[in-house]
Structure 1
Amino acid sequence: MAPPQSLAAAALAATAAAVVFSSLLYRRKCGHLATRVRELEATLAAAVEKAASERRGRVRAQQSLRRALALSEKEPRADEARPAKAAAAPASYPMEPIGTVQSCFSTRNGTPRQPLVVTLARATVAFDPGRVPAAALEGLASYSHCWILYVFHLNTDLDKMWKDPARSKLKAKVRVPRLKGKKMGVLATRSPHRPNPIGLSVAKVEAVDGHAVLLSGVDLVDGTPVLDIKPYLPYSDSVKGAAVPGWLEVDGALAVESIHFSEHFISALPLCWVHAQKQSLYASADEFQDLIKQVLSWDIRSLSQQIRPHQVNMETETNHHYGEEADENQGDGACPGVIYHLHLEGIDVSYRIDQGSNIVVEDATLLPGAGNQNRHGYLTWRDKLGSSGL
């Protein structure tokens, strides 16, 4: 039997050999790993450089394409006379709407001329889920107001403007309601008939739900295409001491004298409301009637509508001045035969207005197709609004 010293020495030698062998294996693995890391780093660097090269190539290609398009637009066609000096072609920036307005205003007539004038005016902006994910609206509800950029899609000259812009002439001056028909430079007004039919409005953010935003105080007609929404920032968007022309400083220039609801209207509205309430943005017929009163508190008639009924009386006064006879029915200036219509939430509201700007709302009838549209109604927003409502 071997002495204990020999066994201990053998065990120590075996342990040392195992340590040396393990160390060699570890170093070998580390060498392989280091080589693999260097290979991966080289592959990554090559991929990054390739992506950067492709990006630079795309940018150069786009720049070349723009230059080629500009040159092609400068060159006249064979059947056209060559101009003395070709003007540089402007760049084009095609855009597509990201959403659509579902407004209480069914038509342009009655839609406020400015935002926040009718505080009860409500609309839902329904965004296209394919272009605007719900995450894009996160945080918007924390703002009290927002800006809406949109297209004046009901302008009658849009087809001519977009299909043949060279033949679409800009009207440099437009008639201004506050100036009783006098003209002003279009870029000094908020007329919808602009070089580019783009509108800008501010509205109150009431609620956000998924791909939709509920707004109030709007001046947007139903179906308006929305290009963008931006939060309103009081510290930069509100300008202290901002000046406007004197004709804009006149308070109540378009305000009416009084509004009265006839008994027939009061009895007709609940019958219409039974069909309209499901998709309406209003909680009750009474609240809807308050909306009507706010809208009609401003004279929403066009300039021609304002002038035509009273023009008869102006002529009558002129005839009397020259001693000529006039029709007795033209003497009071009330024009009782003129009935105006306001379309809200699929309901046709008819009213009369006399020469003293006193309005009588006479009837309410349901418009064809009302209640058959897929819209965000009050019930959609009720839970988001809570017990306080709107």
Structure 2
Amino acid sequence: MARQQVAAAAAVAAIAGAAAVLASELYSRRCRRLATRVRELEASLAAATEKAAAERRGRVRAQQSLRKALSEQELSSDEKKKLSKSPKSFPMASIGVVQSCFSTRNGTPRQPLVVPLARATVMLDPARVPAEALEGLADYSHCWILYVFHLNTDLDKMWNDPARSKLKAKVRVPRLKGGKMGVLATRSPHRPNPIGLSVAKVEAVDGHSILLSGVDLVDGTPVLDIKPYLPYSDGVKGAAIPNWLEVDGALAVESIHFSEHFISSLSDCWMHVKKQSLYASADEFQDLVKEVLSWDIRSLSQRIRPHDVTIKDVTDNGGSKIDNDCSNDEDRQSVDPSTSVVYHLHLEGIDVSYRIDQDSNIVVENAALLSSAVNQHRYSYLTWREKVSIL
């Protein structure tokens, strides 16, 4: 009996040992299979990573070749050698356009934020910029606008050989009363590349549109890019400027007076433009006029030789003559051009005429409707009033 029990125990032990050996072998085989699979996956990942890197290197080389080809067009062999390591052309296109209260260059502020009431809508191209790209922009108080000085009269020089471009190295500065300064030490629009940079206040964002205030942008300006303003890096503490920029009131006017005739003619004009204006009322528009004219907006030549300016009907950027004057012809003919010059400011489709005497006192005399203001389709006060508190 005891001998049978021992035999049984030995059999059980043998079976357990065999089972343990089998389990160990199965586990080892499984580990080997998993290790092999991991090596295969690692190799596949490495191959995919290398392929992606190769494709990226190929794209970079293609882009470099494209820029090089664009930069070498119509150049001599010597010039091609010089440009081989420094391509100068970059494909770039506007992403949107500005709808501004300023119809022409004349009267558009020389710097941003000096006219807080100056408003504009940036209309982005949905084909180039999806609405999601604007997500989060409304959380910033200000943004940078990069744009093109598209109304420059010397843009044809950009396509000339640098030796024949005749781009001016120095420009006349208003604050220096005709004195010249290096173009890169100024904010002149006539630059080696006609690119502008302005900061503006973000009032609201709606789909592909942005409402800005404090702008110095003329209507129709092509926009290249928009970037948020970051006070901790963009606002440089202790930044220094030249002495000639520190002159207080160098371009400020002494006083601004609105004639009764202007107020009545503006009321008539406002009936035509109010549905497409960014301003809530004729009174708010008058405040805009006052802010704009608080700085002498005349060109340097107009200030030096005011009587050399031809007095005639002015045109807007599109070439349309002033039309539908909201005063009668007798009122317009009563102006005597031999005593002073009448200047014109185009805002929101309205021609504002004014005079300024030698002591910098301004009298705003008349408002007339521009023909280009009729039947325009624009973002207006009615569009934005529920989205922003300033309207």
TM-score normalised by L of structure 2: 0.77
Tell whether the 8 Å contact from 2:307 to 2:340 is kept in structure 1 after alignment.
Answer: no
User: What amino acid maps onto 2:183 in structure 1?
Assistant: V
Change (3 A) 1:253 1:72: closer
The aligned residue for residue 55 of structure 2 is 54
Q: Per the alignment, do residues 246 and 271 of structure 1 end up closer, same or farther by CA in structure 2, a change over 3 Å counting? A: same
Report the CA distance between 1:236 and its aligned residue: 1.0
Q: In structure 2, what is the Cα distance between the partners aligned to 1:104 and 1:72?
A: 40
Q: Secondary structure at the match of 1:108?
A: coil
Equivalent residues of 2:171, 2:188 under 8 A apart: yes
Matching residue within 234, 237, 257 for 2:234: 237
Q: Paired residues, what number?
A: 333
CA distance in 1, matches of 2:87, 2:44: 44
| Structure 2 counterpart SS, 1:384 | coil
State the Cα deviation string for residues 299-341 of structure 1 (Å, max 9, x = none).
1000111111379xxxxxxxxxxxxxxxxxxxxxx96331000
Counterpart Cα distance in 2 of 1:63 and 1:345? 45
1:47 to 1:90, Cα distance in 2 relative to 1, 3 A:
closer
Q: Decide whether the 8 Å contact of 1:336 with 1:354 is kept in 2.
A: no
Gaps of 5+ in 1: 1-29, 77-81, 312-333
> What pairs with 1:258-337 in structure 2 (closer than 5 Å)?
258-309=255-306, 336-337=339-340
Q: Where does the alignment leave 5 or more consecutive residues of structure 2 unmatched?
A: 1-29, 309-336
TM-score (ref. length: structure 1):
0.77
- How far 1:38 moved relative to its partner? 8.6
| 1:211-230 correspondence to structure 2 within 5 Å | 211-230=208-227
Asked whether the equivalents of residues 282 and 288 of structure 1 are also in contact (C-alpha less than 8 Å), the reply is yes
Deviations 1:162-184 (A, max 9, x none): 36555312201100111111111
Matched with 2:380 is 377
- RMSD of Structure 2 on Structure 1 (CA): 3.0
Is the 8 Å Cα contact of residues 143 and 228 (structure 2) preserved in structure 1?
yes
Shift of 1:56: 3.3
CA distance in 1, matches of 2:52, 2:239: 50
Instruction: State the alpha-carbon separation in 2 of the partners of residues 70 and 130 from structure 1.
Output: 27
Using the alignment, how far apart are the partners of 1:135 and 1:195 within structure 2? 34
- Are the counterparts in 2 of residues 104 and 221 from structure 1 also a CA contact under 8 Å? yes
Name the structure 2 match of 1:125.
122
How far off its partner does 1:40 sit?
9.9
Structure 2 CA distance for aligned equivalents of residues 65 and 363 of structure 1: 55
Aligned 8 A contact 1:273 1:285 in 2: yes
Distance 1:62 1:100, change over 3 A: closer
Q: How does 1:1-390 map to 2 (within 5 A)?
A: 49-63=50-64, 75-76=76-77, 87-88=82-83, 90-162=87-159, 167-309=164-306, 336-385=339-388, 388-390=389-391
Q: CA 1:227/1:66 → structure 2, altered by over 3 Å: closer, same or farther?
A: closer
What is the distance in 2 between the residues matched to 1:68 and 1:154? 29
SS at match of 1:187: helix
